[in-house]
Amino acid sequence: MSEQHSEWQPRILAFLCNWCSYAGADLAGVSRLQYPPNARIVRVPCSGRVNPGYILKALQEGIDGVLVSGCHPGDCHYLTGNYHARRKFRLLKELLDFVGVEDGRVQFSWVSAAEGAKFAQVMAEVTEKVRALGPNRRLAKHLVRI
């Protein structure tokens, strides 16, 4: 069991906004920064585009952690998208905490296009946190999908 556990790698879904965080990830790559390869990246137009349903659905489908990353407050390409996102995610976080989903399954960050190093660091931190939590068992669906 312990051997299996040591082989287990967390699978993380990262929603990155096109204008800041995705460019930040690009910069991390171009700068040859090392960070854990556990995240699958989905490029979205804005962090405000991320429906909380996407996050819940990803967890239901068995992903171990979700990261949503957007522009810093005040820097949104659409001016207010990330402000709206912040309220929405605060509510989601409140709800997930209250129902007992582990803290850290769903995480949020602001990463600008110039912050390649911050992106690499966020990736490392998120991956470590989710690794410490272990596989996602709570919201994941166990029965056959119909």
* Residue corresponding to tokens 């979205």: 44
12 Rama sector, left if φ>0, alpha if ψ -120 to 50, beta otherwise:
beta
Instruction: Please state the closest distance from residue 142 (CB atom) to another protein, in A.
Output: 6
Nearer to another protein, 3 or 107 (CB): 107
Chain residues in the site for another protein (CB under 8 A): 52-53, 56-57, 60, 73-74, 80, 83-84, 86-103, 107-110, 122, 125, 138-146
Encode burial over 111-132: b for 16+ CB neighbours within 10 A, e otherwise.
bbbebbebbbbbbebbbebbbe
Nearer to another protein, 6 or 22 (CB): 22
Nearer to another protein, 12 or 96 (CB): 96
The rounded distance, in Å, linking the Cα atoms of 55 and 16 is 13
Instruction: Please state the closest distance from residue 95 (CB atom) to another protein, in A.
Output: 6
Instruction: Please state the closest distance from residue 141 (CB atom) to another protein, in A.
Output: 4
62 Rama sector, left if φ>0, alpha if ψ -120 to 50, beta otherwise:
left
Nearer to another protein, 9 or 121 (CB): 121
Instruction: Please state the closest distance from residue 55 (CB atom) to another protein, in A.
Output: 10
